[in-house]
Amino acid sequence: MNFRKALASATILAACMVGSASAADLVVGFSQIGSESGWRAAETTLTKQQAEQRGVDLKFADAQQKQENQIKAIRSFIAQGVNAILLAPVVATGWDEVLQEAKDAEIPVILLDRTVDASDDLYLTAVTSDLVHEGNVAGKWLVDTVAGKDCNVVELQGTTGSSPAIDRKKGFEEALAGHDNLKIIRSQTGDFTRTKGKEVMESFLKAENGGKNICALYAHNDDMAVGAIQAIKEAGLKPGTDILVVSIDAVPDIFQAMAAGEANATVELTPNMAGPAFDALDAYLKDGKEPSKWIQTESKLYTQADDPMKVYEEKKGLGY
């Protein structure tokens, strides 16, 4: 019932307004995991910004890393009769029941940044990045940059067994396949943290003839790269020149390093998952157009040529 009303009002509004303002008067519930990382905080900030720009009334619920809180939040969104629900699921399993409840209430659910193990007719679409693709973009950049020269690569992996670590490794290796001049000589976990990134890089440098054997570093996230850059500097080498540095995420601090010439490239994991989600929702509510079940966000490559200080200023305020 509610949903039809929303559909009708959205259609009427769309008739008299133009562009993104068609989402006005929508009430959307957003169940966020929590704030376990800077990226997550930036995602929350951007989702709120996007909602404000489009005139969407966003009801925000922070789940403090607990699935039960998310389920409670979704049930309360259903009871409030929102027009749509955005869900960043904390785990993959255990969503069937509550998603079915949302479906019965005819409220479309859009998954943000992670997917769930549930039948895909229970949600409208999932907006996520492709982790394998991110690794691939980083690998391609390195292949193009060394341009056929011999290059020994050391890799700082994410937390062992986590899906970003597995997929970003896989994507990078795929990009390197067939280029025999590039070899991954050492690969260790840095647990996605600066401290471990620095410690592991120190040991890589010791193990590879004071770093003289290393031509490039690939880190599964920017934080480890920032730690490793300090280790390289303390070993008396120039990061960005003596050892190329490429990483993933595009957090603000890596742009400072890039501006200083100490990092070479980063692949963005965009925190703006809500933008594409709202676009898909608009199209669905306005024209009844079913989006595809997976909307892939762009994995944009930034290098030193992309005015890193400007990007840093843009990203600084997002809560990273």
Partner 1 sequence: MTATVRTYLRRLLPQLIALAVIVIAISMVFPGFLSLQIQNGRLYGSLIDILNRGAPVVLLAIGMTVVIATKGIDLSVGAVMAICGAVAASLITSGHSLAETLLATLVVGILCGVWNGLLVAILDIQPIIATLVLMVAGRGIAQLVTEGAILTFNHPGLIFIGSGSFAGLPMPVVIWLIFGVLVALLVRQTALGMLIEAIGVNRQASTLSGVLTPVLLIAAYVLSGLCAAIAGIIAAADIRGADANNAGLWLELDAILAVVVGGTSLLGGRFSIAASVLGAIIIQAINTGILLSGFPPEFNLIIKAAIIVFILVLQSPRFRTAFTFVRLPRATGKPTEREAK
- Residues of this chain that interact with partner 1 (CB under 8 A) are 35-38, 41, 157, 160-161, 186-189, 191, 193-195, 198-200, 202-204, 206-207, 223, 226-227, 230, 234-236, 253, 319-320
Q: How far is CA 64 from the centre of its chain?
A: 19
Give the residue with the Cβ less far from partner 1, 34 or 94. 34
| C-alpha to C-alpha distance for 184 and 205, rounded to whole angstroms | 14
Give the residue with the Cβ less far from partner 1, 160 or 241. 160
* Total count of residues recorded for the chain: 320
Give the residue with the Cβ less far from partner 1, 53 or 160. 160
Least separation, in Å, of the C-beta of 308 and partner 1? 15
Give the residue with the Cβ less far from partner 1, 125 or 157. 157
Least separation, in Å, of the C-beta of 199 and partner 1? 5
The two beta strands, 265-268 and 301-303, are: antiparallel
Give the residue with the Cβ less far from partner 1, 148 or 236. 236
11: number of Cβ within 10 Å: 14
| C-alpha to C-alpha distance for 87 and 73, rounded to whole angstroms | 10
Least separation, in Å, of the C-beta of 258 and partner 1? 15
Residues 6+ apart with CB under 8 A from 146: 181, 182, 215, 216, 244
Least separation, in Å, of the C-beta of 38 and partner 1? 5
Give the residue with the Cβ less far from partner 1, 35 or 304. 35
Least separation, in Å, of the C-beta of 48 and partner 1? 15
CA dist 97 → 16, 86, 92, 187 (Å): 38, 16, 13, 41
Asked if 90 and 79 count as a contact pair (C-beta separation under 8 A), the reply is no
CA dist 257 → 141, 172, 247, 250, 262 (Å): 18, 22, 12, 11, 5
CA dist 123 → 111, 127, 269 (Å): 7, 11, 23
